[in-house]
Structure 1
Amino acid sequence: MNWTLEVVPVPVTDMDRAKAFYSEKVGFTIDLDDEVAPGVRIIQMTPPGSRCSIAMLQGMPAAPGTKTMAPGTLHGLQLCVVDIEAAHKDLTDRGVDLSPVRHVGATGWESGKGGTWNSFLTFNDPDGNGWVVQEAPSELAER
């Protein structure tokens, strides 16, 4: 049996502001923006090339046995790209406030690219949810 991660809920305060940020600034594709039941709105978006989407929910009750997250408390979501410098330029050109490209070195975080799997940048959405972008080897993009 396959278990696939398909949707990650992202807690936000303003659905329209978040929709604009993720679609216009980060470049995600809007898959759904609908009121699925009275007072329940779902916006689902997918990063280019990904099978996993993010969803912002308004009016949706928490699933039984779970708790809802406060806006700005989701951190460490990670996207992978094959060219971290091109990703940095694209996000900068779109107006995203982000970190420089860094890598983990002998003294902790150091400036510039590192070796394979060791180049990162970070950014936050308007609510403070934190994202990491990591450079992955290009041969993995072909899988």
Structure 2
Amino acid sequence: MDMKLELVPIPVSDVDRAKAFYTEQLGFNADLDQRFGETFRVVQLTPPGSACSVCIGVGIVDTAPGSVQGLHLVVSDIRAARAELVKRGVEIGEVEDMTAPGKPTVSYAAFKDPDGNGWTLQQLPY
């Protein structure tokens, strides 16, 4: 049986501000922005090349804005990806290379969305 993770809800305090961050600064595609009255709005956003999307909105989840941590965006060239995000105004940490004896290097660079939800660029040793 296949199981595919295709949507991760992200709690935010200001949907329009978050949508602008994810689309304009991170380069995510805005797949859907639908309102169902005043109490429900769903915005689905997909990172370029990803089969999994995130959704933000009103009435989506009851968790506090900024409470999601540790989401990974896997990239093939972390230094180029980080440089692009810096150009787009994202505050992102330096690249950290994690290595252990006899193991290939995995690299990370962390950042947060405007609400404090935590993301990490990750480069795997392919």
- TM-score, length basis structure 1: 0.80
Given that 2:106 and 2:125 are in contact with CA atoms closer than 8 Å, whether structure 1 keeps it comes out as no
* Greater Cα offset, 86-95 or 51-60: 51-60
Match of 2:37 in 1: 38
Overall identity of the aligned pairs, in % = 48
Aligned counterpart in structure 1 of residue 77 of structure 2, from 66, 72, 83: 83
1:71-121 CA-to-partner distances (Å, cap 9, x unmatched) read 011000011000001101110010000000012257xxxxxxxx7451110
How many residue pairs match? The answer is 123
The alpha carbon displacement at 1:38 in A equals: 1.8
Match of 2:109 in 1: 121
Match of 1:27 in 2: 27
Question: Whole-Å Cα distance in 1 between the matches of residues 86 and 111 of structure 2?
Answer: 11
Structure 1's 82 and 51: CA in aligned 2 closer, same or farther, altered over 3 A?
same
Question: Whole-Å Cα distance in 2 between the matches of residues 82 and 105 of structure 1?
Answer: 17
Structure 1's 29 and 116: CA in aligned 2 closer, same or farther, altered over 3 A?
farther
* One-letter amino acid of the structure 1 residue matched with residue 75 of structure 2: V
* One-letter amino acid of the structure 1 residue matched with residue 2 of structure 2: N
* 3-state secondary structure, aligned to 1:119: strand
The answer to whether structure 1 residue 103 and structure 2 residue 97 are counterparts is yes
CA RMSD of aligned residues (A): 1.6
* 3-state secondary structure, aligned to 1:19: helix
Q: Which runs of 5+ in 1 are unaligned?
A: 63-67, 107-114, 139-143
5 Å matches for 1:66-81? 68-81=62-75
The answer to whether structure 1 residue 132 and structure 2 residue 120 are counterparts is yes
Larger radius of gyration: 1
* One-letter amino acid of the structure 2 residue matched with residue 98 of structure 1: I
Segments of 4+ moved more than 3 angstroms: none
* 3-state secondary structure, aligned to 1:103: strand
Question: Whole-Å Cα distance in 2 between the matches of residues 118 and 136 of structure 1?
Answer: 5
